[in-house]
Amino acid sequence: MLVAKGKYVRIRKHLLLPEERLENIPDCTRKVPLKAWIRGVLLEESELYEETKIVTATGRVVEGTLKEVSPTYKHNFGEFVPEILQMKKSIQKEFWGDDDE
């Protein structure tokens, strides 16, 4: 997919390869690269998942792999957690007493 110059995107880059990482860190961390994700405006027309350049909010030009176009925030309140209802019930009961009439 070709993405137009000027689009707001997210890129990813590897800052350190596994062999470049610190020695005294857990194995699970050391065997994977240190990655960075940055958002900004695309400086040139680019293929999705190909190398590209962006300009960030502070005006830095950063190179990396184009990963996402028009990125947004998808965090939310998660799935229903029945345990919260159970907590609420026991707190209300313990504090206000039973109101079953």
Partner 1 sequence: MTTMSDFSLKDLDSRKKEIILNSVGIDYDQYEREGIGFSYEEMMEDTGFSFEDVQRIQHESMIGNTPLFELKNITAYARKFAPEGYGARIFIKDEASNLSGSFKARRAAVSVYKAKQLGFKGVIAATSGNYGAAVAALAAKNGLKCIIVQECFDSKNKAQPEIIEKARACEAYGAEVVQLSVGPELFYAFLHLLDVTGYFNASLYSPYGIQGIETLGYEIVTQTYNQTGRYPSAVICTNAGGGNLTGTARGIELRANHRCRNIAASVNLQGLHMASDDDFNRKSFTTGHTGFGMPFAINPDRSDVPRSAARPLKYIDEYYTVNQGSVFFITEALATLEGLERGPAGNTSLAVAFKLAQTMEKDKVIVVQETEYTGAGKHHQPQLSFAKQNGVDIVFGDPQTEIPGKNIVVPNSADDIHIEKISLDKLRKSYLKRYASQSLTEYDYTYLKEEFRMDNVKRIEELFEEVKNERAKR
Binding positions for partner 1, rule: CB under 8 A: 12-17, 20-22, 25-26, 28-29, 32-40, 51, 56-60, 63-65, 73-81, 83-84, 86-88, 90-92, 94-95
Instruction: Provide, rounded to whole angstroms, the least separation between the CB of residue 32 and partner 1.
Output: 4
Instruction: List Cβ neighbours of 61 (8 Å cut-off, separation of 6 or more).
Output: 43, 53, 54, 55
Nearer to partner 1, 4 or 17 (CB): 17
Instruction: Provide, rounded to whole angstroms, the least separation between the CB of residue 90 and partner 1.
Output: 6
Nearer to partner 1, 7 or 14 (CB): 14
Measured between alpha carbons, how far is 88 from 101 in angstroms, rounded to an integer? 19
Instruction: Provide, rounded to whole angstroms, the least separation between the CB of residue 39 and partner 1.
Output: 7
Tell how far CA 17 is from the center of its chain.
20
Nearer to partner 1, 4 or 29 (CB): 29
Q: Is 64 exposed, middle or buried (0-12, 13-18, 19+ CB in 10 A)?
A: buried
SS3 label, residue 61? strand
